[in-house]
Amino acid sequence: MRKLGIPTVVDRVVQQAIHQVLSPIFEEQFSEFSYGFRPKRSCEMAIIKSLEFMNDGDDWVIDIDLERFFDTVHHDKLMRIIANTIDDGDVISLIRKYLVSGVMVKGKYEETPVGTPQGGPLSPLLSNIMLNELDKELEKRGLRFVRYADDCLIFVKSEKAANRVMKSVVRYIEDKLGLIVNAEKSKISRPKELKFLGFAYYFDVNNQRYQVKPHLSSIHKFQRKLRQLTKRNWSIPLELRIVKLKQVIFGWINYFRITNMKKAIKRIDMKLRSRIRVIIWKQWKVPKKQIKSLIQLGIPEEEAKGLTYCRKGYRFIGLSKVVQRAISNKRLKQRGLPSAFEHYLKVHTVI
């Protein structure tokens, strides 16, 4: 369980003030290959850089997994790193007090002799300050890498080099930084075996280069969210449901806009429209209303009665040609239902 240290309003203001002072100072020291929790940097930039390395021939990848990173940061080591740059005793004292402020777990106070409590504005910066030591070590060795917070990939040209680098980097992380490397999850991979920031990699045979797509687990998570928002027994107005769907769909597609996913998005659109049709059908409630509504939408009476009394389940109703004609894609669009595919075409960025 990840422990969150939610600061009070006053503490949050103090942390934010410290962050505003420290951030520009340490930003000058941070690596250009570090992308997490930094101004004008993003997951997308990290993915693009990883593709650049792979397509340049460094397609043996060391995937370093730090076990419970935020819970295992050594306070003294972190404070020494900060003190090398900041010589203000009051600021140093405030940061240490924040580190040892403790967390609430199931209503009980727990001390935090190690780790950086998550939940405040200062924690991401402190994590980057700590892991910048790893960045500097990798740069000193001339290694190509991409790091986003505690997710780090290192790129080399051969399996032999990957094995050598894995051993030496793990030794550095554990001996010099005092952090724990998860031996089971840390691995040497080829691009197609990777999952990084929700993305998967594949080799595009036509263009002879590596590309990215949403990882299957990311798609499944997205689909689960859409199913949750289109439950038949959720009694909210369709208009409000559509507002929530727009937020989720546009946010997800914007995040994965650099990927190639036309086929996947078309399937998602088709399933979503089917589920919305079922919701509308269910709102008509009784057979008399269902028949009347279908007729009003241009369906002949005999067809309307045939579907209404067919005794088939909701899945059949949602996929039936009669309902698709009555509640057409055009009509769904008029009611505000977003098209994931249309939004993807609008924001897709070719890399």
Domain boundaries, the chain: 9-213, 215-347
pLDDT value of position 195: 97
Report the chain's mean pLDDT, rounded to a whole number: 93
Q: In this predicted structure, what is the pLDDT of residue 311? A: 87
| pLDDT per residue as tens digits for the range 239-266 | 999 999 999 999 999 999 999 999 999 9
Q: Is 90 exposed, middle or buried (0-12, 13-18, 19+ CB in 10 A)?
A: exposed
Comparing CA positions, the residue from 335, 140, 189, 53 lying closest to residue 132 is 140
Residue type, 63: D
Amino acid at 348: H
Give the percent of the chain with pLDDT over 90: 85
**Ramachandran bin of 157, using left for φ above 0, alpha for ψ from -120 to 50, beta for the remaining angles:** alpha
Euclidean distance between CA atoms 190 and 203, whole angstroms: 11
Q: 150, 132, 151: which is closest to 72 by C-alpha? A: 150
Residues 280, 281, 282, 285, Cα dihedral to 10°: 120
| pLDDT tens per residue across span 295-340 | 999 999 999 999 999 989 999 999 999 999 999 999 999 999 999 9
Mean pLDDT of 41-64: 98
In three-state secondary structure terms, 262 is: helix
Per-residue confidence (pLDDT) for residue 71, from 0 to 100: 87
Q: In this model, does residue 5 exceed pLDDT 70? A: no
- Backbone angle region of 40, left / alpha / beta, with phi > 0 → left and psi within -120 to 50 → alpha: left
- Closest to 31 in 3D by CA, of 125, 131, 163: 131
Q: How many Å apart are CA 137 and CA 257, to the nearest integer?
A: 33
Comparing 46-50, 72-76, 322-326, 331-335, which segment has the lowest mean pLDDT?
A: 72-76
- Between CA 335 and CA 331 the distance in angstroms is 6
Confidence of residue 104 (pLDDT cuts 50, 70, 90): low
**Is pLDDT at 1 greater than 70 in this prediction?**
no
pLDDT-derived band at 6, boundaries 50, 70, 90: low
Of all residues in the chain, what percent carry a pLDDT higher than 70? 95
* The domain made up of 9-213 is a member of CATH 3.30.70.270: yes
